[in-house]
Amino acid sequence: MRLTDFWGRLEQAFGAAYAHSIAADHAFAALGGRTIDQAIAQGVDTATIWRAVVATYPDRVPAQLH
């Protein structure tokens, strides 16, 4: 998944402001306790990051974005 697609999905699921807040502040267990921003900076594949988001917020992410 391209980085622009990842951000588009995150913003569609959470809204632009909240998406960037989650990316900076929420440490995901599935990402080894890293935030989205940290995982991206460390080269984690965006599809892997997206799966962590979906697993953490299954009710928040619309099915068409899975």
Q: Token pair of 66, please? A: 């899975």
| CA proximity to 1, closest of 50, 57, 41, 59 | 50
* pLDDT number for residue 63: 84
Mean pLDDT on 37-65: 94
Among all chains, which residue has been given the structure tokens 């960037």? 20
Nearest in space to 30 (alpha carbons), one of 7, 8, 50: 50
- Residue 62 is predicted with a pLDDT of 84
Which residue did the predictor score with more confidence, 66 or 54?
Answer: 54
pLDDT tens per residue, range 4-46: 999 999 999 999 999 999 999 999 999 999 999 999 999 999 9
